[in-house]
Each structure stands twice: as C-alpha cells, then as structure tokens.
A and B are shown apart, each in its own frame.
Chain A
Amino acid sequence: MAVNWARSGSPWLIHFNTGGCNGCDIEFVAAITPVYDVERFGIKLQGSPRHADILAVTGPVTVQIAHSLKRVYDQMPSPKFVVALGTCAVSGAPFRNCYCVHGGVDSVIPVDAYVPGCPPKPEAMIDGIAKLLQKIRGTKG
C-alpha cells in the first residue's frame, strides 16, 4: 500500500508517438511546460523505458511501429501503466481500418486510462493522468 502511495506521488512518464499527426504530441509537451505544469503532481518526463512507470502513447498504432511499441512496453519495469492520449490512440480513428494502421493502442498492449479528443486539451490529458494516479493509489499493492 505504502509503495503504491509513494509511486503515485512521483510517477515517471515516457512518451511514445506511434504514428500520430503530432497534434497530440505538441499538446502533451505543452502540458509539461510551466503554463500547465504537470510537475506539480510529481510527474517527470523520462527518456528511458527502464526508468518509467507510465507509458503515454499518442497516435494510431501503425503496422510498422507496433513491434517497437511492444518492445518499449516490455522493457518497462512492473508495475507499469499505459495511458492512451487522443482518439487515435484510443481506437485508431480517424485512421481506423486504413491499410497501414494496426488499430488503437489496446490492440497491442493493455491500456489503463483513455483520454479521447482530437487532440485532447492539455487540461484533459492532465485530468486523465490524475485519474490514473487515483487508480494506482487504489490498487492493492
């Protein structure tokens, strides 16, 4: 329990763009700048999957990148959480069923929180991540 409490106080985030239009990515990066400032939740953007607790995925998973997404997920230490940012990551739309698109993030790896929107505003992303943190606090550790 205490571990979960500590974990939810300082989650380290890694960001992966699986083929999105960059719209979600710039909103995500905007969320870590001082105007929105996710650091007040103890959230820190991390480079290496091996240090990360939460994988933030944007964009529809294209056929080519699905494999890399899986690998990055596998490299993260457990327990790990995934948040899908943007409609593309949630379900693949508007690119669903395109010949080169595999689908939403949950067609490759399990997802813990979905933030729909095209793109969701930084506030919505922060809300999604905050909800995920609540969920982490509630999980039995």
Chain B
Amino acid sequence: MKKYMKEMKLFWNDHQVAGYRLPISYCLLLAVPFLFFSCSLKKEKLPILGQREMNGNDTVYHTVAPFRFVDQDSAIVTNATFNNKIYVTDFFFTSCRTICPVMKSQMLRVYEATKNMPDVLLLSHTIDPEYDTVALLHDFADRLGVESKRWHFVTGAKDSIYKIAQTSYFAVAMEDKTEPDGFIHSGAFMLIDKHGRIRGKYDGTKEEEVNRLIGDIKILRQE
C-alpha cells in the first residue's frame, strides 16, 4: 500500500511538472485497476530467491545442495526425501529458551494448516547436534505431538548443518558462547519448491509472517 501511495505521488508530481492539473479522481480511476492488476500479478507466482546464472538460453536457479541427515526415527533424510515435495524448513535446538519455542508453536500452525496436503513436508534442523541426539529429538517431536512422516527433526555433523544453513538456505546459524543460549540463529522459515528452489523466507516468530507463508504454500501448490 505504501509503495502504491508513493507511485501515486510520483504520478501526480510528474503531471504537475508537465503542467497538467489532473483531477485526483482521474488518478484514482487509473490507479485502482492498476492496483488490482499488480496484486493479482503478485499472487500468481512466487519469486525464486538466490543467485541465478544463464546457461545458454536457460536460467539456472539456486537450489539446495545435497544433504544427508538423520531424523527422530533414525531414518536417513536426504534431498530424495523431498522429491516432488514442497517443504518448509528451519533451524533450532531443543534446549533453546528464546525464539525457538515461539518458532515451534508457529511451525505447529503450519503443520496443522497443511494436514491435508500430502505434498507438503516440514524439516527442522538442530544446530546443537551434540546435545540434540536422535533420542532427544524423538522425545521432542513426540511431546509436540507430531508425526515423523510429515515433520522431520534432523541432526547430523555440526559442520554440515551450519554449512547448509548458510549456503543453501541463507539462514544464520552458528555457535556463540556469548549469547544467552550459546548460539546465534535466525528465526527464519524457508519455503522450498519441488525442484529444491527457495521460494520464500519468513520470520518464524511472527504470526502475520507465518500466515503469509501458509498463503504462499497454497499458491506454490498451484504450480
């Protein structure tokens, strides 16, 4: 809306400079359909985030690098687990007392909202794999009351988790002993499409942002 106001103003100023004195109602008349158009345009397709390269005439988009982790049922989770699936991913740790519990209650909303969507999965990585063992993650998921088929909580080598966070998902995750919980990490949720491309980034600690994510999942499923 703000952007639209700015455009309106520019439009108005341009015309004043040009010597016209367009009545405001005329501007509105022009702007209203434009607004509708731009909204519907935006709703049709989600952006593809990250760097892109040209390969001949084809655009090559940033995709999630190969990974291999273990989930709460000791099952191996790789890119193949998400073959032909849309997934939402984040980084957390079970003993965290700051933003993670909020992220988990928000991710639980995504879990509930996608209950009847067999092509949508959730993937939460622990950034404290030394403490968050498979058994602990199992207990955590169980207490949260979620199915491991739909929501994988994974652990693995610390370096590979931090690396995939930073290079594949553009998320912040690192150890920092000066932080209250011992880690710095972002509360971001990332939306990944069926081709491993990043289609959205949301603040997983904010209800409105998570509402937007839930809306975007529906848009992405139309592709």
A is bound by B? no
Interface residues of B (CB under 8 A from A): none
